[in-house]
């Protein structure tokens, strides 16, 4: 049975992604001063990126993993910037080195909200790692410490990114033509 999606052209291939993830893991590891790093993935989109990223980190770094899940109020096209925590991390981050891992930044509302919440808990350091940066629609400036790729303002799916919950499992990142996404 077909999913009804035509995924459009490949914007970033699986090979390009893996090469970039290697480089990001190296940079993150060498930029971490402490011996321990808490990597916080934002569900659900960052799961695949995070799982590849942490497996490239060296044994010497004590990597711990946790997840947050948030819901953003707004419509499918535009986030309202009002965010609710659906699942919080399970440990106290005071005094810890923390890395937020997110799939994509668009307006910046989601990430800036998360940074505010986590900064208030007084970590030793709080850095951000984002696979894709769609900077054209940025409304709030956010410091991205580690960025995978800058992309134009197109809707993308695959490698964790979804359209209505589907297409996260694709190995490449595709630009999705809105018309192609209509059930067929």
Based on the shown chain and the rule CB under 6 A, indicate whether residue 101 belongs to the binding site for ligand IMP.
no
Interaxial angle between packed helices 47-54 and 14-30, expressed in degrees from 0 to 180 and rounded to the nearest 10: 60
Of 45-74, which residues contact ligand IMP (CB under 6 A)?
A: 45
Q: How far is the CB of 34 from ligand IMP (least distance, A)?
A: 27
Based on the shown chain and the rule CB under 6 A, indicate whether residue 161 belongs to the binding site for ligand IMP.
yes
CA–CA separation, 29 and 35 (whole Å): 10
Based on the shown chain and the rule CB under 6 A, indicate whether residue 12 belongs to the binding site for ligand IMP.
no
Nearest to 14 by CA among 179, 169, 178, 184: 169
Hey, what's the torsion of the CAs at 95, 38, 111, 21, to 10 degrees? 140
Of 74-93, which residues contact ligand IMP (CB under 6 A)?
A: 79
CA–CA separation, 126 and 72 (whole Å): 22
Based on the shown chain and the rule CB under 6 A, indicate whether residue 158 belongs to the binding site for ligand IMP.
no
Query: From the candidates 66, 106, 153, 177, which is the catalytic residue?
Result: 106
Only segment of 9-17, 51-59, 122-130, 153-161 that touches ligand IMP (CB under 6 A): 153-161
Nearest to 110 by CA among 32, 46, 22, 180: 46
Between 28 and 156, CB nearer to ligand IMP? 156
Between 41 and 108, CB nearer to ligand IMP? 108
> Element (H or E) spanning 99, and its range?
strand 97-105
Q: How far is CA 121 from the centre of its chain?
A: 21
Between 50 and 156, CB nearer to ligand IMP? 156
Binding site for ligand IMP (CB under 6 A): 45, 79, 102-111, 155-156, 161
């Amino acid at each position: 049975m077909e999913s009804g999606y035509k995924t459009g052209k490949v914007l970033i291939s699986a090979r390009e992604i893996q090469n970039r993830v290697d480089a990001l893991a190296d940079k993150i590891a060498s930029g971490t001063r402490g011996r321990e790093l808490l990597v916080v993935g934002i569900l659900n989109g960052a799961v695949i990126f995070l799982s590849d990223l942490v497996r490239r980190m060296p044994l010497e770094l004590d990597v711990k993993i946790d997840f947050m899940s948030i819901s953003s109020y707004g419509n499918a096209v535009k986030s309202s910037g009002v965010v609710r925590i659906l699942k919080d991390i399970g440990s106290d981050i005071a005094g810890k080195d923390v890395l937020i891992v997110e799939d994509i930044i668009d307006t910046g509302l989601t990430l800036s909200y998360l940074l505010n919440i986590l900064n208030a808990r007084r970590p030793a350091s709080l850095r951000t790692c984002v696979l894709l940066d769609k900077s054209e629609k940025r409304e709030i400036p956010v410091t991205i410490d580690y960025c995978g790729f800058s992309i134009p303002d197109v809707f993308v799916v695959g490698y964790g990114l979804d359209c209505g919950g589907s297409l996260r499992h694709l190995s490449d990142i595709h630009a999705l033509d809105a018309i192609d996404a209509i059930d067929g």
